[in-house]
Structure 1
């Protein structure tokens, strides 16, 4: 009887193991086909998730903008396993950033880039910039809230073009289970609202993806993206549909002479065309061989005879080993583009570069979110523009105004009488100094303070190491009180300095009165305000 039970148990375990392997094979196939939503659902059904399952499940969530789920899966991956490829650190850090876990994100970004990364310091560096503009984005109303819309471009007087998944007659794209992208045109009002939305003709739109249209100044030439119908087999044996840039000409109100540009290929992608103001240069993104990695930005001459020069990589000042995409050249010859390879606020951020394109400058948190922000265009003269963001879940179109310019910053010390002091060997804020901090809260709120810094200190009694930790606890308790009374946590940084910065000569453990030692047991609060003027 015992042997019968043992045999039955082995049989049941074998069935379960076979079922597990079958589910994993099914999920792996979906993942390889980039059917990420179905792949994630299937991987979730695997009860014993090995390292590869966790990696693919995290990626499936990441690539479909389910950042909360991605962060949870990547967390399990890093808790259970040690030998993990660096790209998972990169994606985990971005998913942490998207879920507002910036300290953890900084840790994984620092490991990935092999250098210190501090989100607060990064944001402060942008606030301190003399070139910072303040943007005020507003999501445009969509006819179909469930659709993904992106990539607005200017198309003549008061008209725009954009791509959308709203055409339900198109085949469903397995990646996100939405219809294939089509190109649309519409009229744009002074308030930034889109009306009279119309599909481009079937000469432009097909059952493949079409997107990212850009037009010559006279509106007779269009460049746009189209996904290849033919799949290309990679070195890993995967079949992928790459993207090519096409050109079309408007003749007798019909788009015709549609052909792929000669430097495009079925073996790599070229996408997101953008024309210089004079039409002589075409900028685009590509993962063609020889780049920095991922997608790089390139430029190519558009010759008068209709031919093209040789594509030139914009170089390491712009391009990273990750994604640089969606270029736009304004009438002031400023290059705007999206990147997830430069340090930023999360996933794709919008950057700009001027002159010889040796440096990329983040546009700041007024336009960039912790999610993907891209396809930025602007009329510099009118100080208005558009971008796309998936900060709300789907890709959505946003209009924005650029209304203010940061002239300078002012650092302000809280008045001496509003500083707080601590009892010996204690870090709690006493009732006496809670009243002081209440006044500080009023000052911070009235001044709309940003970048609040709390520096805390200890007297000379105790070891250096102990006093350093004690002063940090004092800084943290000061911050906790401010946060509990309505000051945003993300605006506050803390640092304990131990006994290294006394305000008097009491630098030894003996020789001073209690009153003199007490002066060094303090928290000092400074903050920055931005003085803004109309542009």
Structure 2
């Protein structure tokens, strides 16, 4: 999908001076290849076509096909690859690209044939891509009988984006995108336009603002909740024609590329002003597709900056005050792949949507969603039929209620033109449920009494009990209502979870209960570990200590003793001192995680409280000695701090 990112730049940037034919005749392949390597695929296509017209051998056909593929003209790319392969022994990369063009036109069987030939040629690299494509063919075949989405009604609008992007979020009740004032001009000026949308509304463009414009590319606007701050993407440089010595001064990369940058602008007196690039951008890579949360505190975006998984990855950063941002964090290997992840959209606090070319899907870029928060996200799931197709599907955007929205696809065009699709949730009951667990040790909890409340009501709409595996189900959640789910069980603290069916995976509601501590409870830990003969905690201890901190924080009345113990080896005094330092080290960590220091006491018992027969002079195995090396927590009292 890289071609989409640079589409505005590539269609608008024209060389002055010699005609395409003259330049091609003078410089041959070199200038065309250079244009292709710089991402100027439309200009490269002009040169290759000129040279192909004078060279009947067909050697330029695969380069023409490569350009058409990047420009999303998949049917044209497929035709040129096929003609080339009839006449030439091809590089393996041609077969991989040919397979991609075949997939993007829905010719799965022919695509599989080319992928098998590609892999049999021992390609070395790009095997990952071939494997993903083969899995996607199987996935698409498996889901071929289902072409409708049970949860959403999806229809096509009459809006064609022509390669430009949907906004990162919707502006009030309109789709906001960019369009050229004159698409046929040598250097069209791009400005923002809005399309009021709704099933009963005509899709007619209305100029939103011309106070922000760019002659190359501008798009992907995203707004804060008050609609007074906008983040958008544009080319950083005002030119793509400069000598290498002028690249830096012209805001071009060291290789002469006009990269994309995220800008911020403020609405003042009805005009967008104070247009500034975000501080973490660079001429050497592109940042694009910003999504700002309504409160203006959290920003998601796509970038091909160094250090990622490959292609464009998704990143997250947090506002630290005016014009200050935390360092961008890569969203990790669950989200990102060696290929392009683009168009992030966060719905509520716990849902993230995005498009990916590197995951198993229907072909092309597919839309995915996952659950999580900030930079921590779970395994993505495919949005399924209707949203995804054999072609490129991307740019999903919801209204603030999460009831309806828009996305883009080129599935119905032979020339790869992006069209806007409209969707709305089908109002029906939703099956829901999940698993009840002991939050401290992770075991399932049978017999949890579960009460389900509609928001604002004091009487439950349903009561049920988790089964022997800890599972529970409720099949009458309504998508336009919010709920509170309460879990109660003897010996555990009550747990309440608020859920919104629009934003929550209703079949995966986690209802984990914390044990309720009482006086004289004792917990022993063998996995709180220290450096040999030292009090330094080993990294393997962190997970257990974090869980322990959570348990002590929610049991806010518990006064506890944390004790460290050694085995009998070594002298008594040394073991006492070592165990005391270790107990203090563990307590310091727990306090750093939020445990009240007044509620926890560190005691080192050395070898004075052995658990077995292994005293001085008694031969024992290493396993027996290990039983005695431990950390324990004992609840010594239950009090409010005011009583202490």
**Do both proteins adopt the same fold according to a TM-score greater than 0.5, normalized to the shorter chain?**
yes
> What displacement does 1:332 show?
5.2
SS in 2 for 1:282: strand
**After the TM superposition, which residues 130-145 of structure 1 pair with which residues of structure 2 at under 5 Å, given as runs?**
134-142=151-159
What is residue 5 of structure 1 aligned with on the other side? none
CA distance in 1, matches of 2:218, 2:391: 23
Closer, same or farther: CA 100–378 of 1 in aligned 2, 3 Å = same
Q: Give matches, 1:157-168, under 5 Å.
A: 157-165=172-180, 167-168=181-182
Q: Give the superposition deviation at 1:261.
A: 0.2
Give 5+ residue unaligned stretches, structure 1.
1-18, 174-178, 409-535
Distance 1:317 1:74 in 2: 34
When residues 272 and 348 of structure 1 are mapped into structure 2, their CA distance, relative to the original with a 3 A threshold, is same
Which of 402, 405, 415 pairs up with 2:425? 402
Determine which of 354, 360, 365 is the counterpart of 2:385.
365
Residue segments in structure 2 that go unaligned for 5+ positions in a row: 1-23, 120-126, 241-246, 432-644
What SS is found at the alignment partner of 1:205? strand
- Residue 240 (structure 1) aligns with: 257
**1:78–1:362 distance in 2 versus 1, CA, 3 Å:** farther
- Across the aligned residues of Structure 1 and Structure 2, the Cα RMSD in angstroms comes to 3.6
Choose which of 31, 34, 39 in structure 1 pairs with 2:47.
Answer: 39
Displacement after TM superposition at 1:107 (Å): 4.0
- Matched residue, 1:102: 108
Instruction: Report the Cα distance in structure 2 between the residues aligned to 1:334 and 1:127, rounded to whole angstroms.
Output: 27
Q: Quick check: 359-368 or 242-251, which moved more?
A: 359-368
Cα contact 1:331–1:379 (8 A) shared by 2: no
- Matched with 2:397 is 377
For 2:78, the equivalent position in structure 1 comes to 71
Aligned residue runs from structure 1 range 119-134, under 5 A:
119=136, 121-123=138-140, 134=151
User: Is the partner of 1:151 in helix, strand or coil?
Assistant: coil
**Does the 8 A contact of 1:316 with 1:358 survive in 2?**
no
Q: How does 1:262-301 map to 2 (within 5 A)?
A: 262-301=279-318
- Aligned partners of 1:180 and 1:222: how far apart in 2? 19
Q: Quote how far apart the aligned CAs of 1:194 are.
A: 3.8
Shift of 1:38: 1.6
1:332 & 1:379 partners in 2: Cα distance? 14
d(CA) in 2 for partners of 1:135 and 1:20? 54
Shift of 1:353: 1.6
1:127-526 map, 5 Å: 134-142=151-159, 147-165=162-180, 167-168=181-182, 171-172=185-186, 179=188, 181-189=190-198, 191=200, 193-195=202-204, 197-202=206-211, 204-229=212-237, 230-231=239-240, 238-331=255-348, 333-355=350-372, 356-379=376-399, 381-391=401-411, 392=413, 393=415, 394-403=417-426
Provide, for residues 76-115 of structure 1, a one-character-per-residue CA deviation record: whole Å limited to 9, x for no partner: 55556667354x4443222101222101223445633364
**Which of 55, 65, 90 is the matching residue for 1:58?**
65
CA distance in 1 between partners of 2:53 and 2:272 (Å): 48
Q: Which residue of the partner structure matches residue 498 of structure 1?
A: none
- Pick 1 or 2: higher relative contact order, CA cutoff 8 A, min separation 6: 1
Question: Paired residues, what number?
Answer: 378
Structure 2: distance between partners of 1:247 and 1:322 = 27
Distance of 1:105 and 1:308 partners within structure 2: 44
Q: Distance in 2 between matches of 1:56 and 1:120?
A: 25
Q: Write the distance in 2 (CA, Å) between the matches of 1:378 and 1:109.
A: 36
Q: Note closer, same or farther for the CA distance 1:292–1:78 as it changes in structure 2 (3 Å cut).
A: farther
1:455-499 deviation per Cα after TM superposition (whole angstroms, max 9, x unaligned): xxxxxxxxxxxxxxxxxxxxxxxxxxxxxxxxxxxxxxxxxxxxx
| Deviation readout 1:109-168 (Å, 9 max, x if unpaired) | 563336482556413666899xx75544333234xx695553145455323421223x10
In 2, are the aligned partners of 1:24 and 1:46 still within 8 Å (CA)?
no
The answer to whether the 8 Å contact 1:247/1:258 transfers is yes
Given that 1:40 and 1:61 are in contact with CA atoms closer than 8 Å, whether structure 2 keeps it comes out as no
Greater CA radius of gyration, 1 or 2? 2
Cα distance in structure 1, aligned partners of 2:103 and 2:44 = 21
Structure 1 residues 50 and 141: alpha-carbon distance in aligned structure 2, compared to 1, 3 A threshold = closer
Once residues 299 and 25 of structure 1 are traced to their aligned partners in structure 2, the CA distance between those partners, rounded to angstroms, is 39
Report the TM-score when normalising by structure 1: 0.62
Distance 1:152 1:293, change over 3 A: same
- Paired with 1:43 and 1:255, the residues of 2 have a C-alpha distance of 46
Q: Post-superposition shift, 1:349?
A: 1.5
CA contact (8 A) 2:105 2:391 kept: no
Report the 3-state secondary structure (helix = DSSP H, G, I; strand = E; otherwise coil) of the residue aligned with 2:213. Answer: coil
Does the residue aligned with 1:364 lie in a helix, a strand or coil?
coil
Aligned-pair CA distance for 1:223: 0.2
How far residue 40 of structure 1 moved from its aligned partner, in angstroms, is 4.7
Query: In the TM superposition, what is the alpha-carbon distance from 1:345 to its structure 2 partner?
Result: 1.9
- State which drifts further: 326-335 or 214-223: 326-335
Q: CA contact under 8 A between 1:126 and 1:362: conserved in structure 2?
A: no
Relative to structure 1, is the Cα distance of residues 158 and 324 closer, same or farther in structure 2, using a 3 angstrom cutoff?
same
Query: d(CA) in 1 for partners of 2:400 and 2:349?
Result: 7
TM (norm. structure 2) is 0.52
